[in-house]
Amino acid sequence: MEAPRSVLGRRKSRSKCLWSWITVAVVIVLVLVVVPPAIILSRPKAPDGLSSTVLVPLYIYPADGAWDPLYKAINSSTDLAFMVVINPESGPGNASLPSPDFIPAIEQLNSYSNVQTIGYVRTGYGTRNLSDVIKDVRTYSGWAKHSAGLAVQGIFFDEAAYEDAPGVQEGLWRINKAAKTAPGIGMPRTVIHNPGVVPSANLSTNNTDIVVTFEQSYREYRKQEASLESSPFGRERTSYIVHSLPWSVDLMRFVRQLSYRAEYLFVTRNNNNDFYESFGKGWQKFVDDGKAEGRRPSKAPKANVIVPLYQYPTNSATWAPLYDAIDANPDLNFTIIINPNSGPGSPPWWPDVNYLREVPKLNTKPNVRTLGYVPVDYCNRDVSDVVSDIKKYAKWPHDGAVKLLHVEGIFFDETPHEHSTFKATYLEKITQQVKKAEGILGEQLVFFNPGTSPDMELTKRGQDVDVVFEESYSRFNSLSPEEQYAQTNFDRAKTCYMIHSTPEGELSNVVREARFRADYVFATDLSEQFYEHFGKQQQSFSDFIAAMAAT
């Protein structure tokens, strides 16, 4: 598991001292005069860290009582997820089953709802024969034939290649495919690579779920901390394994710092060569710190699909991918933004026969709510024009005597994020206009879209939801710890995330992370005209919906 080494004037006068103390005293007085004490005392507490999964390299033989510290930790931390790497003999061994002592021990691990077992396979940094690697995967797959409770749910490829060379990427893809398609490997068939360092970006194959980008000592971590920021992997795909943590280092503080960069963590104070062959004295403390107050559960909460539907319905087939998704997921709620012409449109363009045909179709679906799009240009647009747009949507139930032609709320785009009395009054007025409009049906929802975290005063203008993030995947993954912490101030039930430019294979990961942060989520692989098509690839929108429906 360890990364290769190659990667790796005393005397002062009394008068000078006196003047120093006088200077300090003056500064303190000035601070207290200029800065009110209430501001100093009300500074926010340090962040509690982000939710993480405990990744356990379980390289301990299951003699009587040997795994009891792990069982105890799992039982006492039911809200904390554990990934446990099973390693009978530097892999599954040559026999079809592990030794008899392993079988009941692994079955006990698999009986816990917060545990996912992962089979260990050595790859020798790309030097081991691929057929031998795949043979190990198949051996793990065969365990399920003996007992369903013995099945592992993923593969941990140790000593994964980290430098690109001819055939390396193809080799990684092949072993990943073997793990992803092995019938006896249980779902979700998680594939973990452990190069122990940040690998070449070219080796980021889209069927790798997690990459261990650091596996070394605490001392080495401090040396490499800054360079780890250049990792091409998002937090949700990153694991850190840190050993030899000094007793002088606060474990909780360190784990919380790591949690902002990596979702899968293991930290031990063991400082001999057998880092993973005992739990060590700090094991239970590490687990307890992982379940500290404020941590989220292992499963992403259910969220609403929000769809900015800014594409013109040329014919009945234009919106077919959306209809298919709605019908195939009756338990998934869809909030759909209707945008005929950067707003409701005006005569002679409106009423438009194609919208008159398609909007009622959406409103027949029990799991759909439609919103009307209205731009406000950061409160620079005349408020009377905004109110006029709201009234146009409110007239829809009467336009052309078309049944089910209506919206159930308004999506105000380009709302400001900086507070002023004028802006607050403006936003309150347009919100009240929606809430009292008889032709805006249902819950009369109001969405504000500043696209970034707004001033907290602007979240109190009567709206139901704020879009606090509308940016690219790369920006989503590069939020600083301070920015991430700031976004935790927003009520998840009233928060929306909209993410574009998501790389191939990353939709599932980014949606899962967004669901923890927001109750309304949209993600797309498009890097331009994000809302005018369902995706760059034919399968993209389906993948997004599948990620939203995943339990």
**Of all residues in the chain, what percent carry a pLDDT higher than 90?**
66
- Higher pLDDT, residue 289 or 300: 300
Mean pLDDT across the stretch 479-485?
67
Beta bridge partners of 371: 337
Q: Dihedrals φ, ψ of 266, to 5°?
A: -145, 130
Report DSSP state, residue 301. P
For the chain, list the domains and their CATH numbers.
53-290 (3.20.20.70), 310-549 (3.20.20.80)
pTM, two decimal places: 0.55
Asked if pLDDT for residue 401 goes beyond 70, the answer is yes
Lowest mean pLDDT among 35-44, 115-124, 331-340, 397-406: 35-44
Asked if pLDDT for residue 473 goes beyond 50, the answer is yes
Asked if pLDDT for residue 21 goes beyond 80, the answer is no
What is the pLDDT, as a whole number, of residue 4? 36
What is the pLDDT, as a whole number, of residue 298? 59
What is the pLDDT, as a whole number, of residue 156? 98
Distance in angstroms (rounded) separating the CA atoms of residues 492 and 28: 40
Q: Do 318 and 532 form a contact (C-beta atoms < 8 A)? A: no
Mean pLDDT across the stretch 212-241?
90
Mean pLDDT across the stretch 343-371?
92
What is the pLDDT, as a whole number, of residue 123? 96
End-to-end, the C-alpha distance of the chain in Å comes to 31
37-84 pLDDT, tens digit each: 333 233 334 445 777 899 999 999 999 999 999 999 999 888 889 999
- Higher pLDDT, residue 99 or 504: 99
What is the pLDDT, as a whole number, of residue 296? 53
327-352 pLDDT, tens digit each: 999 999 999 999 999 999 888 877 78
Q: How many CA atoms lie within 13 A of 303 on its CB side?
A: 32
165-204 pLDDT, tens digit each: 888 989 999 999 999 999 999 999 999 999 999 998 777 6
- Higher pLDDT, residue 322 or 8: 322
The residue to which tokens 């002088």 are assigned: 248
Amino acid at 157: F
Top mean-pLDDT range of 233-247, 379-393, 525-539: 379-393
Lowest mean pLDDT among 12-21, 116-125, 466-475: 12-21
Distance in angstroms (rounded) separating the CA atoms of residues 49 and 405: 46
What is the pLDDT, as a whole number, of residue 61? 96
Q: Which pLDDT band holds residue 242 (cuts at 50, 70, 90)? A: very high
What is the pLDDT, as a whole number, of residue 482? 62
Distance in angstroms (rounded) separating the CA atoms of residues 303 and 451: 19
Asked if pLDDT for residue 317 goes beyond 70, the answer is yes
What is the pLDDT, as a whole number, of residue 479? 75
What is the pLDDT, as a whole number, of residue 10? 30
In angstroms, what CA-CA distances link 43 with 258, 420, 485? 23, 23, 13
Asked if pLDDT for residue 249 goes beyond 60, the answer is yes
Asked if pLDDT for residue 365 goes beyond 70, the answer is yes
What is the pLDDT, as a whole number, of residue 345? 86
Mind giving me the DSSP string for 21-60? Answer: HHHHHHHHHHHHHHS-HHHHHTPPPPP-----EEEEEE-S
What is the pLDDT, as a whole number, of residue 26? 38
Q: Which pLDDT band holds residue 1 (cuts at 50, 70, 90)? A: low
Mean pLDDT across the stretch 473-491?
76
Taking all residues of the chain, what is their mean pLDDT, rounded to a whole number?
Answer: 87
417-453 pLDDT, tens digit each: 999 999 999 999 999 999 999 999 999 999 999 999 9
Q: Which pLDDT band holds residue 477 (cuts at 50, 70, 90)? A: confident
Residues in the chain, overall count: 551
Q: Do 199 and 232 form a contact (C-beta atoms < 8 A)? A: no
Residue 451: which residues within 8 A CB-CB, separation 6 or more? 414, 417, 467, 469, 470, 471, 498
